[in-house]
Each structure stands twice: as C-alpha cells, then as structure tokens.
C-alpha cells in the first residue's frame, strides 16, 4: 500500500504532546476542517499509545477484557471504512480495501475468543490498511456536506473510545505507559471534604432533540425526571479513604457486600483492590508497569461496582443514581453541557495529560455548584442499571447500546484517559458490575437526604 504525505506525521514511534486541540474541537466537530483535524489527532493518539511496543512479537494472553493489539488497531480502521466509505445512502455495503476484513475485524460477528486464533495479514499490511482508510476518509470528508457527516463523527468518537481501551490494556497487562507527553499525576493535600446539597425537582434528563452536538442513541431523548432532595460528595472517594476500609478487613466481612459482590470476591479471592500490594507497612499501587506509593488524596481507581457498594455500606453512604449524578453535574438540572457551563475548556484531568488521577488536577473552571472533578479524573459508578430512555430507538450502529441494556451499570464523568471532546454532562458510559479494569472510581451521597429516581 502506498505511503501518503498526510500520514507522515502518524508513523509509529512519534511522540506527541497533547495540546488544546481536543477541547477546541468539541464544539467544532460540525466544521469540516475541525473534524478532519480531529480525525488526524485521534489516529496520532491511537498509534502513539502502542508505538513503544513490538506488536508482532508481543504475546498477549487471552483475557475477556482485552483485545489482541493488532486486531484492535485494524478494527478501528475497519469501523471507519465500513461506516464512512463502504456504506451508501441506501445502506448497501461495498467492498473493503482489505481482503477478508469483515471476517477478521467486524466485532459484531467475530467472537472475542477467536481473535487470538485468526490468520491475520502481516503487520505492515494492516498498518497500510489503516493509512489508506484514513486518507480515503479525509478525501471523502472534503466533499461531504455538513448534514451528511454523522458517520465521520461517529468514527472519530469510536476511535477515541478505543484509545482509552488501549490504555486500559497496557494497565491490565502491566506494560509501560506510552510516550504521549503525559506526566506523573502530581500528589497533593486533600481539600476539606463535604457534600453539596440539592433540593431536587423535575428536569429533562438526556439530550434534547435537535441538539447540534453529536448525540449517541442512549442519550436520546430528553425526558421528564423528578429527583428528591439529596446531598452528593464534593469529590470522588479518595484512595486513603478506601485504604481505611481495606485495613479494617472490609474484604473479609460479609456484612458490607451484596450477594453478587460477595460471590465475586470469593471467586476472585480478592483481599484488596486490583493492582494494590502491601509493602513495608504501606500500600503500593501499580500504574502501568511501575509500583508507586499510594496517594491517599487521589481519587480511588480500578474498583468495580461491588467494591464501591461495599465501601458505601461500610461508610454509611450510598452511590448516586444516574439521574442524581446528571442533575448535580448540570447544577440543579440546568441546561449546562458541562459542570462549569456551556463552553468547552482545558482540563488537566482529561486527555491523558497525566498518567493517573490526582486531587491536585482540577477542572478549570470548577463546577458552578462547588463539585470537583465531575468530568475527568475517574469514571464514576452510579447505582443505576444501564437502561434505555423512554422511546429509545437504536441508531444505525445498533450494537453500541442496545445489547448492553439491563446487564451493565451506568457510569458518568470521564477519566484522566478520556478525550475531552467525548464527554459532557449527559454522556453515558456502561460496564458490567464486576469490571475493575476501567479507570473508574465513585462518588457518594448521604443516605438520609432522600433518593432520586434512576
């Protein structure tokens, strides 16, 4: 496959310092130039995440929570080609630039376990496929009117999501962090704790029809929800607070755990959070391939829903419902797109500017209600099952939401590895309750201030 000047900046091994481009592109993804720039930025990030690895020789064990690296990289290109290049206005699907690509990289039809056994083309051919697809997409975008750019935006945000998944894979496998300009998350002294109180009330949860910003199907559409009075923590639960639960035998005491949570804990023989170990009388945590002293002031990371619920019972707290979380992030149910208002801004807590969460990294500006790190730092578990909104209808990419309703739980916010252009107050993430590999923590509510609907 041919080498393209446009792709010269994206070769493996490139070091990229994250700039303000991602945030600046949030509100401009309907502009052709901004969308093209964002697609280039996403691919630069994708290739940079694995640039320090020899993928042809890297042996990745079969795990249900990761993909083989070359498979995932090629799948990103396959997805973009399928939706932006091969699918015509009538839904007919044309041929691929890569022979047998559907049989290899269509996640809808290729079983997860089989991805370790397939006969893939050589790495150079797969990288050439990625180059050619991106080049063809940018050429198609240049002649595509605004009203027909939906699938280009979908392809961009899909790649952004996979970029975070690639970082999760490095963490899961204990591999080194990539050279993307990310710095170590600074430690800091914890600011005073406390709750922010909301009187509750009715609000339109979700995104209103006619919104100009890109909308995923699970955000559709805004519908009337009423929440009761509640008080929600100003900050996510901190690592030092969770360590106190562990030190008091929290993983050994059945009374703190749900039936499903205790079953998971016994099956996994878990005595502490994943990637923690006790050394020299203190807790250490693994961040990618390095063991670091636990930062007691930093947001808790890599806990699943069961662990979050157990800590809440121990502490006399509870998780917020998804509706409460959105009501709080929107400063009492206002129309705010972000906790700080309607305009995007730079945030050190997003875009992998740091290789972990920290209390010393704050949103800029902060929430109008006084809540901190509602977007960025860690994804935040809620008490609500991931469910469709009233009148849900799947978008063309049906597999994005519909198969996961009622089995997964909703998370909100975004992590230090999440792209800023992806997340906002109404964005919904979702995982199975036992998943603890995500960059997820949790925020809590007081148990005596009412409970909103989910």
Q: The CATH number of the domain where 395 resides is what?
A: 3.90.1580.10
**What pLDDT was estimated at residue 192?**
78
**What pLDDT was estimated at residue 347?**
83
Query: Which residues does residue 278 pair with via DSSP β-bridges, in sequence order?
Result: 283
- Complete edge-to-edge strand list for the sheet that includes strand 290-293: 276-279, 282-287, 290-293
Q: Is residue 183 part of a domain?
A: no
Reading the block at residue 175, the tokens are 């591999």
Beta strands in 186-316 (DSSP E): 195-198, 201-205, 223-227, 230-233, 276-279, 282-287, 290-293
Q: Are residues 168 and 317 in the same domain?
A: no
- The C-alpha atoms of residue 165 and residue 148 are separated, in whole angstroms, by 28
Q: Are residues 91 and 202 in the same domain?
A: no
Reading the block at residue 98, the tokens are 């890569």
Domain with 277 in it: 195-239+267-446
**What pLDDT was estimated at residue 451?**
47
Alpha carbons within 13 angstroms on the beta-carbon side of residue 173 total 23
Q: Is residue 377 part of a domain?
A: yes
- The C-alpha atoms of residue 321 and residue 275 are separated, in whole angstroms, by 28
Q: Is residue 315 part of a domain?
A: yes
- The C-alpha atoms of residue 373 and residue 357 are separated, in whole angstroms, by 10
- The C-alpha atoms of residue 355 and residue 428 are separated, in whole angstroms, by 23
Closest CA to 325 of 454, 160, 152: 454
Q: Is residue 255 part of a domain?
A: no
Q: Is residue 159 part of a domain?
A: yes
Q: Are residues 207 and 115 in the same domain?
A: no
**What pLDDT was estimated at residue 366?**
77
- The C-alpha atoms of residue 245 and residue 252 are separated, in whole angstroms, by 10
- The C-alpha atoms of residue 411 and residue 284 are separated, in whole angstroms, by 26
Q: Are residues 92 and 217 in the same domain?
A: no
94: three-class secondary structure by DSSP = coil
Q: Are residues 109 and 208 in the same domain?
A: no
Q: How far is CA 156 from CA 43, 73, 134, 161, in A?
A: 9, 14, 11, 9
How many domains are contained in the chain?
Answer: 2
Q: Are residues 130 and 21 in the same domain?
A: yes
Reading the block at residue 373, the tokens are 């790190």
Q: Are residues 159 and 63 in the same domain?
A: yes
Beta strands in 271-399 (DSSP E): 276-279, 282-287, 290-293, 317-318, 379-385
- 21 alpha-carbon distance from chain centroid: 19
Q: Are residues 349 and 419 in the same domain?
A: yes
Give yes or no for a contact between 341 and 375, defined as CB atoms under 8 angstroms apart: no
Of 173, 203, 222, the domain-final residue: 173
- 434 alpha-carbon distance from chain centroid: 16
Q: Are residues 212 and 132 in the same domain?
A: no
**What pLDDT was estimated at residue 288?**
98
Q: Is residue 451 part of a domain?
A: no
Closest CA to 213 of 373, 346, 58, 28: 28
Q: How far is CA 426 from CA 135, 208, 217, 240, 340, in A?
A: 32, 10, 12, 30, 14
**What pLDDT was estimated at residue 362?**
65
User: Model confidence over 296-343: pLDDT tens digits?
Assistant: 999 999 999 999 999 999 999 999 999 999 999 999 999 999 999 998
Q: Is residue 300 part of a domain?
A: yes
The CATH number given to whatever domain includes residue 116 is: 1.20.120
Q: Which of the residues in the chain have pLDDT under 70?
A: 1-30, 362-365, 449-454
Q: Are residues 154 and 296 in the same domain?
A: no
- The C-alpha atoms of residue 377 and residue 381 are separated, in whole angstroms, by 13
Q: Are residues 228 and 311 in the same domain?
A: yes
Within 8 A by CB and 6+ apart from 240, the residues are 190, 294, 296, 297
**What pLDDT was estimated at residue 344?**
87
Q: Is residue 140 part of a domain?
A: yes
Reading the block at residue 436, the tokens are 């603890």
**What pLDDT was estimated at residue 364?**
57
Q: Using N-to-C axis directions, what is the helix angle for 150-173 and 32-49, rounded to 10°?
A: 20
- The C-alpha atoms of residue 336 and residue 15 are separated, in whole angstroms, by 35
Q: Are residues 148 and 202 in the same domain?
A: no
Give yes or no for a contact between 66 and 182, defined as CB atoms under 8 angstroms apart: no
């Amino acid at each position: 496959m041919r080498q393209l000047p446009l792709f010269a900046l994206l070769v493996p091994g490139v070091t990229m310092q994250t700039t303000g481009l991602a945030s600046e592109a949030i509100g401009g993804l309907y502009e052709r130039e901004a969308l093209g720039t964002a697609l280039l930025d996403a691919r630069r990030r994708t290739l940079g995440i694995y640039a320090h690895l020899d993928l042809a020789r890297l042996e990745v064990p079969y795990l249900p929570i990761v993909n083989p690296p070359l498979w995932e990289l090629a799948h990103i290109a396959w997805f973009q080609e399928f939706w932006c290049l091969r699918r015509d206005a009538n839904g007919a699907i044309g041929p691929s630039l890569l022979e047998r690509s559907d049989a290899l990289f269509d996640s809808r039809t290729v079983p997860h376990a089989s991805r370790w056994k397939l006969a893939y083309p050589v790495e150079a051919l797969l990288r050439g496929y990625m180059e050619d697809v991106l080049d063809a997409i940018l050429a198609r975008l240049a002649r595509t009117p605004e009203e027909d750019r939906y699938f280009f935006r979908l392809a961009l945000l899909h790649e952004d999501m996979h970029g975070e998944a690639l970082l999760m894979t490095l963490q899961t496998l204990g591999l080194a962090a990539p050279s993307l300009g990310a710095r170590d998350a600074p430690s800091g002294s914890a600011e005073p704790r406390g709750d922010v109180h909301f009187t509750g009330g009715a609000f339109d949860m979700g995104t209103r029809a006619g919104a100009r910003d890109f909308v995923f199907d699970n955000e559709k559409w805004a519908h009337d929800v009423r929440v009761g009075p509640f008080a929600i923590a100003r900050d996510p639960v901190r690592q030092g607070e969770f360590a106190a639960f562990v030190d008091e035998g929290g993983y050994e005491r059945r009374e703190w755990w749900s039936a499903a949570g205790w079953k998971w804990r016994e099956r996994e023989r878990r005595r502490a959070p994943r990637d923690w170990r006790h050394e020299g009388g203190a807790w250490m945590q693994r961040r990618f391939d390095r063991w670091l002293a636990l930062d007691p002031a930093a947001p808790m990371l890599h806990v699943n829903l069961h662990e979050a619920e157990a800590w809440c019972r121990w502490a006399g707290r509870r998780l917020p419902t998804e509706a409460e979380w959105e009501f709080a992030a929107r400063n009492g149910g206002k129309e705010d797109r972000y906790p700080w208002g309607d305009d995007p801004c730079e945030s050190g807590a997003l875009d992998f500017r740091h290789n972990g969460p920290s209390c010393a990294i704050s949103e800029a500006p902060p929430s109008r209600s006084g809540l901190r790190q509602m977007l960025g730092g860690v994804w935040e578990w809620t008490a609500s099952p991931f469910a469709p909104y009233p009148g849900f209808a799947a978008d063309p990419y049906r597999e994005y939401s519909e198969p996961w309703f009622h089995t997964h739980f909703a998370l909100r916010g975004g992590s230090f590895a999440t792209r800023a252009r992806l997340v906002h107050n109404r964005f919904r993430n979702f995982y199975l309750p036992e998943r603890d590999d995500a960059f997820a923590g949790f925020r809590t509510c007081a148990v005596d201030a009412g409970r909103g609907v989910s």
